[in-house]
Amino acid sequence: MRRITAVVLAMLMLLALSVTAFADDAVPSGVEDGVLTIAMECAYAPYNWTQSDDSNGAVPISNVPGSYANGYDVMIAQRICEANGWELEVIQSDWDSLVPGVQTGTFDAVIAGQSMTAERAEQVDFAGPYFYATIVCLTTENSPYASAQGLSDLAGGSCTAQIATIWYDTCLPQIEGANMVPASETAPAMLMALETGMVDFVCTDMPTAQGALNAYPDMVILDFSGTDGDFQFTEQERAENVNIGVSMMKGNTVLREAIDSVLSGMTVDDFNELMAYAISISPSEE
């Protein structure tokens, strides 16, 4: 009986080891070849943008020959790759295709100014945060809303934000009496809607707003943070909806831990300093 029990226990241990090994191999890290392939819009300054040369440390966009990607996301990706001894490959991908792309393994990770929302976290894993954002509104200097002191002062105005973002889905609905027009496909389209007078104001995050001033100096940032008139989030909602993270395939613990090991060594000041540099070199036109 003891011999049978020992044999059974041994078989169970082998089975457990096999299951563990299978689980470890079930989700490849994607960097076995020494290359981290990431995706971004390449049209979301200062997080990421497209330029025609490699100035200021820009890297080639592998699926858009002759074009280069730069911005805060690229700079973060470069630090991650340098620390892990990987090469960096950047792929241009539209906003709505970013999550499906990591789910299918089209690219290893997304570094594209994505908020770490609960909804996205059901579909992908996140490393980070790699930036702590503030939500603001943008209007034009000649707008009747330029002197707004809180969300209540924006009542009656027409507004929009980028599609599939917390700006459009969560923030704008908090403005009572606002006239929400259909969401813009991209951040540049959102800014153009404001500049051409299609809307009175837009909602975005502070880095995007600061970068927009390079292209549109007639725009004004409405920052209500720290006041009763600000957008309202619980601490949990803020952690999920405002912080920016790196997304990857569910279960890719090897890649997540490797990226987190780099990001955890950076401080909020490090992030802010790097973002300030990205804003300073962001393009004046999209």
Q: Does the pLDDT value for residue 18 go beyond 70?
A: no
| Contact call for residues 203 and 137 (beta carbons, < 8 A) | yes
Split at pLDDT 50, 70, 90, the class of 238 is confident
Position 8 in a domain = no
The pLDDT of residue 87 is: 98
Residues 94 and 156 in one domain: no
* Domain housing 177: 135-238
Q: Is the pLDDT of residue 98 over 90?
A: yes
pLDDT at 7 over 80: no
User: What pLDDT sits at residue 8?
Assistant: 43
At residue 36, what are phi and psi to the nearest 5 degrees?
-95, 115
Mean pLDDT for the chain overall:
90
| Local confidence band at 241 (pLDDT 50, 70, 90 cut-offs) | low
Residue 16 included in any domain:
no
How many domains are contained in the chain?
2
233 and 145: one domain? Answer: yes
Averaged pLDDT, 265-282:
96
Q: According to the model, what pLDDT value does residue 135 have?
A: 94
Is residue 15 domain-resident?
no
Alpha carbon distance 74, 59 (integer Å): 8
Residue 118 banded pLDDT, cuts 50, 70, 90? confident
CATH of the domain at 124: 3.40.190.10
Are 57 and 71 in contact by the 8 Å Cβ rule? The answer is no
- Is 147 within the bounds of a domain? yes
Give a yes or no: residue 6 inside a domain: no
- 188 located within any domain: yes
pLDDT tens per residue across span 125-179: 999 999 998 999 999 999 999 999 999 999 999 999 999 898 999 999 999 999 9
What average pLDDT score do residues 79-108 get?
97
pTM of the predicted structure, to 2 decimals: 0.82
19-62 residue pLDDT tens: 444 444 578 999 999 999 999 999 999 999 999 999 999 999 99
Considering the domain boundaries, does residue 12 fall inside one? Answer: no
